[in-house]
Amino acid sequence: MTSASQSVRTQREVRHPEKTAFLSLSKALGRVAVYVVLIFLGVTWIFPLYWMASSALKDDPQVYTVPPVLIPNPAHWNNFADAWNRFDFNRAAFNSVFLYSLPVTLFTLISSMIVAYGFAKIRWRGRDALFWVCIATMMLPWQVTMVPLFIIFKNLGWINTYWPFVVPSLFGNAYFIFLLRQFFLTIPEELSDAARIDGASEMGILWRVILPLSKPAIAVVLLFRFLWAWNDYLGPLIYINSEAMQPLALAIYRMRTLALSMGNTAMAYPHLMAVSTLIALPIILMFIFAQRTFIEGISTTGLKG
């Protein structure tokens, strides 16, 4: 069943040659079974995403027909452009990237690194108690503080801006502080001590010694923070109320409202799927190109997508 047991079994076969024939048959059957199950699961798991992408290429008759069309022929590639232009998605993409995801990601990284350094590399009293509190805040659901935070930001006049996302990112994020702190602890103390003897400041050590050695952890922070911002729906739903300011996640929901509510349903479904595909694509590509970083990030800290 597991790779470990497979290799163990191989050793044993050598020791008991009389059983080899039977075992290799059952082993082969077992393997086939594993592949069959995995392929079935794989197809099931990927199907919704396939359906999203393939429906994006259909026209209305191909959508509303029984039996369902699995492979659209002809494929309507112009749907992507048509759907994107049906609404101001360029502006929404700009908002998503430049007003929300990028600044928040960058600021979270910088602030979390500084805090993590304070928790990992400087010895001071109360440090571990505070770190414990920091971890505890990871469990605090955002919805619990949603209303008072809204009132605070409202009084600051920050509604319909991205300040409610950007400003808190200047104060670090518990998940990433935790992740970076754990990583910093693996960097030998001798390196920073040596730098201290050379007269480096703590900030200098963080910048010149720790940072170059922490690239894997930094990559995890960048990827996940970007992902969360890109996917965020509830936050913008509450804070952003003008069409010009909305990010992609809101824009597509609004497109659905517009397309379905007033009987203006022509091409609504293929266009919705086309935009969904375009919004999901950067995330999927990001994963494909940075797979190792993703997997390591999750394996060490259990970061949710």
Partner 1 sequence: MTAIVTGWRNMSKTERRNQILGLLFVSPWLIGFLLFALFPLIASFYYSLTNYDFIREPRFIGLANYQRLFTVDPDFWIVMYNTLYYVGIGVPLGVAVAFLIANLLNSDIKGRTLFRSVIYIPSIVPAVCTAMVWLFILNVQYGVINGFLKTLGMATIPFLSSPDLAKPSLIMIYVWAQGTAVVIFLAALQDVPRSLYDAALVDGANLWQRFWNVTVPMCTPVILFNFIMGIITAFQDFTLPFVLTGGGPMKSTEFYVVNLYRNAFVQFSIGKASAMAWILFLIILFFSVVLFRTSARWVYYGGEK
Partner 2 sequence: MNQNGISRRQFLQWSAVTTGALLVAACGPAAAPSTAPAAEQGAAPATAPNTVQYWYAWGNLDPALAKIVETDEFKEHMGGATLEYKGSTGQDVLLTAIAAGTPPDGGSNYSYVNLFTRGATIDVKDMVDASTVINKDDILEGVWNSAFYKGGMIGIPGIECYLWWGLNVNIETAEKAGLDASTLPKTWDEVLEWHKAMTIKDDAGNLLQFGLDPYDAMANEPDFISASYGFKWFDEETGKFDLANPRMAEGLNTLGEFIRIAGPDQFAGMRQVEGHGTWGAAFNAGVQNMIIEGYWHPGETQIQKPEVAQYNRASWAPVPADRKDANIMATGLHAVAIFKDAKNKEGAFKLGEFFQTPTALNIIFQEVGWIHGVKSWLETVDKNAYPGLSFYIDAGPQVTEWTIGRRCPINDFVITQYVELREQVYRNLIDPQAAAEELQKRAEAEWEAQGLG
**Residues 6 or more apart in contact with residue 73 via CB below 8 angstroms:** none
Binding residues for partner 1, how many (CB under 8 A)? 108
Shortest Å, Cβ 262 to partner 2: 4
14 makes contact with partner 1 (CB under 8 A): no
Amino acid at 202: E
253 makes contact with partner 1 (CB under 8 A): yes
CA 177 to chain centre: 17
- The structure tokens listed for 279 are 């919004």
Shortest Å, Cβ 12 to partner 1: 6
Residue 125 CA to residue 120 CA, distance in Å, equals 13
The helix, strand and coil proportions of the chain, stated in percent and rounded to the nearest 5, come to 75, 0, 25
Residue pair 139/146 in contact (Cβ under 8 Å)? The answer is no
159 makes contact with partner 1 (CB under 8 A): no
* Nearest CB to partner 2, comparing residues 10 and 243: 243
Q: Which does 128 bind (CB under 5 to 8 A by kind): partner 2, partner 1, none?
A: partner 2
Shortest Å, Cβ 119 to partner 2: 10
Binding mask 148-187 for partner 2 (x = CB under 8 A): --xx--xx-x-xx---------------------------
Q: Looking only at residues 232 through 251 of this chain, which bind partner 2 when binding is defined by CB under 8 A?
A: 238, 241-243
Residue pair 246/226 in contact (Cβ under 8 Å)? The answer is no
Q: Which of 3, 44, 261, 299 binds partner 2 (CB under 8 A)?
A: 261
194 makes contact with partner 1 (CB under 8 A): no
* Nearest CB to partner 1, comparing residues 102 and 298: 298
- The structure tokens listed for 85 are 């232009």
* Nearest CB to partner 1, comparing residues 1 and 262: 1
* Nearest CB to partner 2, comparing residues 14 and 139: 139
Q: Enumerate long-range contacts of 76-83, CB under 8 Å, 24 or more apart.
A: 76/270, 79/267, 79/270, 79/271, 79/274, 80/56, 80/274, 80/277, 80/278, 82/267, 82/271, 82/274, 83/56, 83/270, 83/271, 83/272, 83/274, 83/275, 83/278
Q: Which does 265 bind (CB under 5 to 8 A by kind): partner 1, partner 2, none?
A: partner 2
258 makes contact with partner 2 (CB under 8 A): yes
- Judged by CB under 8 A, the stretch of 130-138, 165-173, 205-213, 283-291 that binds partner 2 is 130-138
- The structure tokens listed for 109 are 């990284």
Q: Is 286 exposed, middle or buried (0-12, 13-18, 19+ CB in 10 A)?
A: middle
Q: Which of 122, 156, 258, 266 binds partner 1 (CB under 8 A)?
A: 122
Q: Which of 28, 41, 260, 284 binds partner 2 (CB under 8 A)?
A: 260
DSSP at 96:
I
| Residues of this chain that bind partner 2 (CB under 8 A) | 126-129, 131-133, 135, 150-151, 154-155, 157, 159-160, 238, 241-243, 254, 257-258, 260-265, 269
